[in-house]
Amino acid sequence: MCGIFACYNYQGNVEDFRQHALYLSKKIRHRGPDWSGCVIGNSSILAHERLAIVGVDTGAQPLVSDDNNLILCVNGEIYNHKQLRANLKNTYEFKTYSDCEVILHMYKEMDKDLINHLDGMFSFVLLDKNRNRVIAARDPIGITTLYYGWDSKMPGTVYFASELKALNEDCDKILAFPPGHVYDSDTGETTRWFNPSWWDASQVPTSPVDLKILRDALETAVRKRLMAEVPYGVLLSGGLDSSLIASIAARETKKIAADDPDYDERKDRCNPERITDTFYYYAGGASLWSQLHSFSIGLPGSPDLIAARDVADHLQTTHHEYTFTIQEALDAVSDVIYHLETYDVTTIRASTPMYLLSRKIKATSVKMVLSGEGADEVFGGYLYFHYAPDGKSLHEETVSRVKNLHTSDCLRANKSTMAWGLEARVPFLDKQFLQVAMSIDPNDKKPRQGRIEKHILRKAFDTSDDPSAKPYLPDHVLWRQKEQFSDGVGYSWIDTLKKVAENKVTDDEFAASPWTKDPPTTKEAYMYRVMFEQWYPQDACAASYPR
């Protein structure tokens, strides 16, 4: 994951604009602390802040084609880049080992249709100098973040950036770039490119669940996300979703180590007493060390810490447990809002512990983690799904929740981690896995008497009927009742936030709320909105809030 900034068709001297563009790009350098790049083409400028995960030594961006016609900035990971290279019709000389460079050559052969072939999480901006054309695109669900903006004084100029903070000084209109869409300057239109069969919620699937296909699809989704040449780990709350991802990742990490012919030689060079030495920059796709590293956080004695410790013991991960105080979390809230660029109450509550954890993880030299976002939306895992009157209603709600993940959990996972240059990958939102999971008869997903939420996901990884099989998780974890993340870190966290807001915001202030867009309905929401406005006072910032 990285940070991108671009300005297309700048109405002025673009060379003079360069220093200001670098200043705007620097605002998102936390997303890419490893290197910076900036390239001018015609009257456009593209800048990149790099977090090196794949092609560490050679993947600096912006990427420029051999004929200097195409300039590309990408934020994200293309998991099928090797297959895409092999499928190109013509022969090209690749300059890097980056997973992103293939997009340049695909554009030459497929134009915009290249996006349909990408498997990964990504936002990108590509400039075609000969045509003075820019295209920009965002991944299907919005795992990566992207915004675009306009300055009314410069009609015809379009700005793009990974975060709002790189646009708010120059743009008086800013929008969240919609997931699964592509912008083309030739038409000036933003159109949907991602159109899976399940997108139309009125078409209710009738295929019964195949537990083996479901299990295989999630294992494949995890496996491809171990593509890395840097230290990685998993976020582990001890709940079902993160525990399943950790279990699969632990198995796959051991397989990779076992298949590495140089494993023993490289292991001898590692000192297991230091985490930074227990990883090896292994170009085959994963770290050398056969034990996965897991990370959890909570208030002392919180449910998440206890549950995560239990899972880590079962999986034999190298586990890292961190605690925080209420005061440390309260002190971080304003910074969390700065990085999240939102005033949504639920997102801020849940993001603060994740933000604190990400800083701790970054200190260990880990640069990528797997996370469990998306399972509740896909499988109807929230407790209110018990009240769905029928399968059709449940399916419509799951589709709606998945479509809106970019406004909540995806935004939280991306910006909370990238605030510290840590990349989060989410296997449950894999394109192929979603195709499998969202095509299941919703009646198979529906909780009912005697059947816990996400029953089919749990059952898919339940090996209790096979004595010879190694359990993915202990039964008491596999069938554990769901905890909300913000509750699991410690129940006093949310209660304290409410009390602080009650004391900080007077009744008169709350009654005289000045906002007509998204007016706060609680004092806690009012408190967050004030903090948001302090960071982002421009009208365009609140208007950009993703919907």
List, in order, residues 6 or more apart from 479 with CB less than 8 Å away. 452, 458
Q: How far apart are CA 138 and CA 121, in angstroms?
A: 8
CB atoms near residue 403 (< 10 Å): 16
Residue 207 in marked binding region: no
Please answer whether residues 107 and 115 qualify as being in contact, where contact means their C-beta atoms are separated by less than 8 angstroms: no
To the query of whether residue 2 is one of the catalytic residues in this protein, the response is: yes
CA–CA distance from 351 to each of 50, 411, 412, 419 (Å)? 23, 9, 6, 11
Question: Is 313 assigned to a binding site?
Answer: no
8 A C-beta contact, residue 394 and residue 446: yes
Instruction: Measure the CA–CA gap between 391 and 395, rounded to whole angstroms.
Output: 6
Q: Is 99 annotated as ligand-binding?
A: yes
Strand-pair partners of 159: 7, 149
Distance between CA atoms of residues 132 and 69, nearest Å? 10
372: annotated binding-site residue? yes
The CA distance from 193 to 165, in Å, is 27
- CB burial string 430-446: b at 16+ within 10 A, e below: bbebbebbbebbbbbbb
**Which of 102, 71, 74 minimizes the C-alpha distance to 86?**
102
Please identify which of the residues 2, 73, 100, 541 carries the catalytic annotation: 2
Q: Is 297 annotated as a binding residue?
A: yes
Between CA 480 and CA 474 the distance in angstroms is 10
Q: Would you say 124 and 410 are in contact if contact means Cβ atoms under 8 Å apart? A: no
Question: What is d(CA 275, CA 225) in angstroms, rounded to the nearest whole number?
Answer: 21
- Separation of alpha carbons 416 and 429, rounded Å: 18
φ/ψ (deg, to 5) at 72: -135, 135
Q: How far, in Å, CA of 200 to CA of 403, rounded?
A: 11
475 CA to centre of own chain: 29
CA–CA gap between residue 57 and residue 339 (Å, rounded): 28
Alpha carbon distance 407, 396 (integer Å): 18
Separation of alpha carbons 328 and 332, rounded Å:
6
CB 197 within 8 A of CB 203: yes
Name the token pair of 22.
């670098």
**Where does 269-382 have alpha helices with state H?**
303-315, 326-340, 345-362, 375-379
Which positions make up the binding site for ATP?
A: 235, 297, 371-372
Binding-site sequence positions for L-glutamine: 99
Q: Which residues are catalytic?
A: 2
Binding residues: 99, 235, 297, 371-372
